[in-house]
Amino acid sequence: MSFVPRRALPRRTFLRGAGAALSLPLLDAMVPALTAVERTPAAPAKLRRLGYVYMPMGCAPEAWKPAGGLTPGGDPLGALPSTLEPLEAVKDRVTAIGNLELRNAYPGTHATSNAAFLSAAKAKRTESADYHLGTTADQIAARQLGVDTRLPSLELAMDLMSMVGQCDNGYACVYQNNLAWSSPTTPLPAEAHPRLVFETLFGEGGTPAQRRADLSNRASLLDSVTDEFARLSRTLGAADRTRVSGYLESVREVERRIQQAEAETRDNPLPDLDRPVGVPAKYADHAKLMFDLQALALRGDITRVVTFQLARETSNRTYPEVGVDDPHHPLTHHGNDPAKVAKVAKINRFHVGLFADFLKTLRDTPEAGGSLLDHSLYLYGSGMGNPNVHDHVDLPILVAGGAAGNMRGGRHIRYAEPTPLANLHLTLLNKVGVNQSAFADSDGEVADLFDPLGV
């Protein structure tokens, strides 16, 4: 049993060093001291985190849709369709929801698919700076969940967001570049560079010049907190020492991978106009770093709200890692050519596989009598259904995690009639305690996603 001091360690405890400020994962020592009988490990384990992962340009529907789902309460998520097969090891933590729609994404564009995904709002058609959308669900959550964290929210992407002007059918590029909007006129730019995200999470601020000096003067950000960790360890029980040590090792491993990518860039300086300089050459390695940075941010309670764009709408990225050398966007206009549809399905499966690996990481990270996944809710999906016709119905949507809120995983829920995606946003906000009576064009909550005894 871990030693719990009579004076609880503050939840906002940091290990500080030169240019570093590392927050810590939830420890037994942070739970107010109680007797063995009084102490309830589940007390801090409430559902309190929301994450959103955006998959661009819809899906190949037949390779995505699970069987059944129309039974009241949904049906068990049995044999998975090919696109969802990578979720097999975590399917008990995942619910697929079918026949959700984004009515306000029409007239059916890539720009409005991305813009409406988290806002469920209609984007003002403009190519100028007078754009207007709506506050997104993640930012509504961040106003409450982010009050006590270093970062109210974390916005991540995989592509450079350098495009300006018109991007899609008269819509300003801002609609395609940004998932998160803190107000109808304030898009929040996402960061695609792992080093910049890492320094944001674990660095102690300062000017860009100071940060560059810190980087040149140390081999690792963790080097400067070694003495602080040794001092703290003397006050912790064995289990807490193991938790902190494991967390620091995870941070160090992510930093090592970032340093390796930067070194490879110096050795091979050919530019890639779609990617930041200094990121891993392979898409999967880059994406895994971005997912691991999310996991570290959630584990250290640096933020409780995350958005992640796996690629921009209209992306022409290729995926040679899974045998797809054709650009993604043209493939989605496949005209029902079986060969092209199969390649779109391969890309969808590849993206889902990266998400599945991330869910396994959260599941395998203990926290407060459960796991990091238990105390988080993640929505994965797209604002477009069938990209060949640019529709916004029957969206590919998954919800994962949430056991601390009694989410019932391992199921497929399918509505008989098209239902607003805003209903799901409303449900997830309410389940993490960000109580709302309505969101955008919602007309109720998603029934049967959570056990009635959930909190």
Reduce the DSSP state of residue 120 to 3 states and report it. coil
How deeply is 218 buried, as exposed, middle or buried, from its count of CB atoms within 10 A (0-12, 13-18, 19+)?
middle
- 171-221: per-residue pLDDT in tens? 999 999 999 999 999 999 999 999 999 989 988 655 555 555 555 555 577
DSSP state of 260: H
Angle at 114 between CA 179 and CA 182, to 5 degrees: 30
Closest CA to 5 of 31, 24, 39, 37: 31
* Two structure tokens written together for 173: 């590029």
Token pair recorded at residue 288: 């895994």
Query: Do 127 and 110 meet the contact criterion of CB atoms below 8 Å apart?
Result: no
What is the C-alpha to C-alpha distance for residues 284 and 196, in angstroms, rounded to an integer?
Answer: 18
Give the tokens for residue 428.
């997830």
Q: What is the pLDDT of residues 33-86, one digit of tens each?
A: 433 333 333 334 478 899 999 999 999 999 999 999 999 889 999 999 999 999
Per-residue pLDDT of the chain (455 residues; tens, 9 = 90+): 333 344 567 776 777 766 677 788 888 888 754 333 333 333 344 788 999 999 999 999 999 999 999 998 899 999 999 999 999 999 999 999 999 999 999 998 999 999 999 999 999 999 989 999 999 999 999 999 999 899 999 999 999 765 555 578 789 999 999 999 999 999 999 999 999 999 899 886 555 555 555 555 555 777 777 778 788 888 888 888 888 888 888 988 999 898 888 887 665 555 554 556 678 989 999 999 999 999 999 999 999 999 999 999 999 999 999 999 999 999 999 999 999 999 999 999 999 999 999 999 999 999 988 999 999 999 999 999 999 999 999 999 999 999 999 998 999 999 999 999 999 999 999 999 999 999 999 999 998 899 875 44
* Stated pTM of the model: 0.90
- Alpha carbons within 13 A on the beta-carbon side of 335: 2
Please report, as a single letter, which amino acid is at residue 382.
S
- Give the CB-side neighbour count of residue 117, counting CA atoms within 13 A: 35
Could you tell me which of 148, 147, 120 has the C-alpha nearest to residue 133? 120
Give the count of alpha carbons within 13 A of 174, CB side only.
21
Provide the residue ranges of all domains of the chain, joining segments of one domain with +.
1-44+201-278, 48-192+306-455
207-214: long-range pairs with CB below 8 Å, 24+? 210/19, 211/19, 214/18, 214/19
CATH of domain 48-192+306-455: 3.40.720
Q: Distance between CA atoms of 368 and 375, rounded to whole angstroms? A: 9
